[in-house]
Structure 1
Amino acid sequence: MAMNLRLRDDLNEALRERAEAEGVSMHAIVVTALEEYLARTTQQAMVRRTALEQAAKWRELMERLK
């Protein structure tokens, strides 16, 4: 699937410079950044969901221990 990505001039320049310095394409950096973001936010969502489930599970006990 093709996608156009519009960046501010400063971000585009920073990305171009980083890609050149690392010897990789701008595309490769953007794809890697997106993969890392999705992995991180998926993990955060799972931790958040688990914490809420455990809080609900143990709510009565925690209230009694106050």
Structure 2
Amino acid sequence: MAMNLRLRDDQTEALKLRAEQEGTSMHALLLQAVDDYLARTAQQAIVRKTAMEQAAKWHELMERLK
């Protein structure tokens, strides 16, 4: 899917500089940033779901131990 992304001028300049430093394209850096974000938030969602499940599982015991 194609899409347009509008960056501020300072973001564009910083991205261009980083791409030059790393010897890659701005496009490749943005794709990596999206992949990193998706992986990080997926992991956070798993942790959050597991925490909620464990809290529900042990709720009664925790109430009795108060």
Tell me which residue corresponds to 1:37.
Answer: 37
Moved over 4 A (4+): none
Identity %: 73
State the number of aligned residues.
66
**Structure 1 residue 55: deviation in Å?**
0.2
Could you tell me the TM-score, scaled by structure 1's length?
Answer: 0.96
- Deviations along 1:12-64, one digit per CA (max 9) or x if unpaired, are 10000000111100000000010000000000011001101110110000011
**Structure 1 residue 2: deviation in Å?**
1.1
CA distance in 1, matches of 2:65, 2:19: 56
Structure 1 gap segments, 5+ residues each: none
Structure 2 gap segments, 5+ residues each: none
